[in-house]
Chains A and B, each alone.
Chain A
Amino acid sequence: MGDFAITDCALAIVATGRRAQTLRELRDVLRDVHPGCIYHHFWGTLLRPQFAQLEYNNDFASWCHHNLHDDRIAERLAVINPAAFANMDDLRQELLEVIDERLDETEMMLFAQADRQFHFVRSIIVLFDTHRRLLQPDELAVALPQMPAGSGFYHFVDARRRQPRQIDDFRAWLLEWGPEYRSLCEALAEIDPYFDSLFVLRERLTQLFVNAFPPFVTLGLSESARREDSG
């Protein structure tokens, strides 16, 4: 089993200059917009500070609700799970199909106000090495509360598009240890990262690991250190 290297991250935002004022325009731009835009409007949202739970978990759905006032399409877009798609082009195709379906069923052409258009942007993700390495899974219980919010994003959200099985980095690492941590992995799978702020997400993850490894956290010792101690 390899070490778990804690990575921090931040996004730099690049404008494309492309915008949409109607659902049809949104569809037209989506057809050929830079794949990084699709990533950003699904995942980048989560790296922004949140002060209330998100109503919609991607920018497309949120814009349709708040600016087109079309809740049917907003709800259908919101239910798309981006992690279920192997790549951005598959995700793009799903978006186009959902939007086309809505365009087929309605005669209405809803407009956003001129100053409320959808602006397509993409992001450059910058990865920082925190120089923190974990040797044993129980060390996560101690490390998680001290992780930068960006690490939560990188390991729990962004990981879903990097990992071959579309899972977070914590589960990917725990699964390397065999069946021992299966129930912990199942509990991690239950956490939906798309509604809470990264700070709340970090608290929920911490709680999960603290519950899984209580005595070691209390002592501030990792399982490996404890073994060495008792040995």
Chain B
Amino acid sequence: MIPDSTAPALLDRYAEHAGPDAIEQLRQLASRLTGLKVVHVNSVPWGGGVPEILATLVPLMQELGLDASWETLEADEDFFSCTKTLNNALQGKPVAPSPEALQLYEAVNARNAERLRPLLEEAGVVVIHDSQPAPLLSHCPDRRGKWIWRCHLDLSQPYRQVWRYLRGFLVDYDASVFSLDAFVQPLPHLQFLIPPSIDPLSEKNMPLDPETLSQVLEQFSIDPQRPVVLQVSRFDRFKDPLGAIEAYRLAKQFVPSLQLVLAGGSAVDDPESAEVLREVREAAAGDPDIHILATEHYSDRTINALQSAADIVLQKSIREGFGLAVTEAMWKGKPVIGGNTGGIRLQLLDHRTGFLVDTPEGAALRIRYLLSERHRMGQIGQAAREYVRQSFLSTRHMREYLTLMVTLTHGDEDRIELG
């Protein structure tokens, strides 16, 4: 396809949101890394936050002059069932994959290493995302570059037996990256703290016209005249969709017109979601004001429209690596009520950019408060958007990745002078 020469360059489009100084920072950092071969590896090409982040960061790195690419694992359902258990354990659930499952986990990584080895061994920087591809490093003995393990999970209280197993694959990495200080586990290398980000230019976060919002609400029979509370998340126990239903029920006693929308796509690497969805449907018990949107993979534009049309966004998680759905809603100027956990704490400054709650009762109380004090919804939403603009856009994320790469390739100094 011939590029549209009249379209503004990608970096100029980001400058409209993040400001020209942020772009100049990226250019100065990237000037030290021109031509560097960077390979990202994660489990799947779509579904969940990691592919979304990579879909933004990889083209941005390319535009900045790095030779960046993105690979995913070739794996089957049994592998993902094993890594789902691994991830649950890493986030604190006392479960462990069977020895056979771990054998499969290692074998799938060995098979993928055969395919990816030439690329990975010649790369200047390899970024391995989460636990699924973590063993790849052990299959690349002639690696030339620096290897970074990027953990997107809440690793604050891992099930120790499983963490010890995974740690064996991580000790030879050159650096690791966590979203929050509380998630850091002892590893014998540099550990950076880099919260993830959202892409303001993506289908999921671009502004939509009111007609699109009306169409989407109509498509799902959601009444635009009545208040809507929305939770967007996979059907995962850590996201506590049952807690969201309980909060809705408690609030509805005071706001009878209230509607709840639970919108959750699925991801290839999350085979548990069907079971959780069944539990959610049971809990909803046919309430016509609870809209469970889970029968297909919703487009980013649909999720965007739901978030933009909602009055309040809920993220009632009990464990959360970061919570990009929170960031997305904040960027749309919505008041968010989030579980007092993990990365949600970093985003929702209680009573300023949103509300943190510990129970369904707490969530219900904040729903009632916001619906009765509607001017606060606007104030909090505005502060939330500004907070995201300053802290959680892709440009900030990119700057920190580039800083990490400059540090690894030019030496660990306390001050890096550019320009």
Contacts and interface: CB of A to CB of B under 8 A. Distances in A.
Interface of A: 8, 10, 12-15, 17, 36, 48-49, 51-52, 114-115, 117, 119, 121-122, 124-131, 148, 150
A179 to B, nearest CB: 33
Contacts of B182: 115, 117, 119
B418 A15 contact: no
Given A15-B191, A51-B387, A128-B418, A10 B403 contact: yes
Contacts of A127: 415-419
Size class of the contact patch on chain B: 35 or more
A14 B21 contact: no
B139 interface: no
A130 B352 contact: no
Interface in B144-183: 156-157, 178, 181-182
B192 A15 contact: yes
Interface string B186-220: 11001111100000000000000000000000000
A189 to B, nearest CB: 26
B138 interface: no
B359 interface: no
A36 B414 contact: yes
A125 B414 contact: yes
Given A51-B349, A130-B24, A14 B418 contact: no
B106 interface: no
Nearest to A8: B21
B304 interface: no
A17 B185 contact: yes
Interface string B382-419: 01001100110000000110011011000011111111
A128 B24 contact: yes
Contacts of A124: 403, 407, 412-416
B353 interface: yes
B25 interface: yes
Contacts of A126: 25, 29, 399, 403, 406, 415-416, 418
Given A17-B184, A51-B383, A12 B192 contact: yes
Contacts of B193: 13-15, 121
A36 B184 CA distance: 18
Contacts of A51: 349, 352-353, 383, 386-387
17 contacts: A8-B21, A8-B24, A15-B178, A15-B181, A15-B184, A17-B184, A36-B414, A51-B386, A124-B412, A126-B25, A126-B29, A127-B415, A127-B418, A128-B24, A128-B28, A129-B28, A129-B418
A49 B387 contact: yes
A183 B25 CA distance: 35
A12 B349 CA distance: 21
Contacts of A48: 391
Given A124-B416, A129-B28, A129-B419, A14 B191 contact: yes
Interface in B333-373: 341, 349, 352-353
4 closest A-B pairs by beta carbon, nearest first, are A129-B419, A119-B181, A148-B21, A12-B403
A148 B395 CA distance: 15
Which of B24, B178, B341 has its CB near the most chain A CB atoms (within 10 A)? B24
B30 to A, nearest CB: 12
B20 to A, nearest CB: 9
Nearest to B192: A14
A13 B192 contact: yes
Contacts of A17: 184-187, 191
A115 B339 CA distance: 14
Contacts of B353: 51
A129 B28 CA distance: 8
A115 B185 contact: no
Nearest to B195: A13
Contact of B21 (A36, A115, A117, A130): A130
A130 B22 CA distance: 11
Contacts of B191: 14-15, 17
A46 B24 CA distance: 22
A11 B198 CA distance: 20
A148 B18 CA distance: 11
B407 A12 contact: yes
A121 B419 contact: no
Contact of B156 (A36, A115, A121, A125): A115
Contacts of B383: 51
A156 to B, nearest CB: 17
Nearest to B400: A12
Contacts of A125: 414-416
Nearest to B25: A128
A117 B184 CA distance: 12
A8 B181 contact: no
B419 A128 contact: yes
Contacts of B29: 126
Given A8-B21, A14-B191, A124-B407, 19 more contacts: A8-B24, A10-B25, A12-B400, A14-B192, A15-B184, A17-B187, A17-B191, A51-B353, A52-B349, A114-B157, A117-B182, A119-B182, A124-B412, A124-B416, A126-B25, A126-B29, A127-B417, A128-B25, A130-B419
Contacts of B187: 17
A114 B157 CA distance: 10
A17 B182 CA distance: 9
A13 B177 CA distance: 10
A12 B362 CA distance: 35
**Residue of A52, A115, A119, A124 with most chain B CB atoms under a 10 A cut-off:** A124
Contacts of A150: 21
A129 B390 CA distance: 20
Contacts of B190: 14
Nearest to A34: B414
Nearest to A51: B352
A17 B181 CA distance: 8
A131 B414 CA distance: 22
A48 B391 CA distance: 8
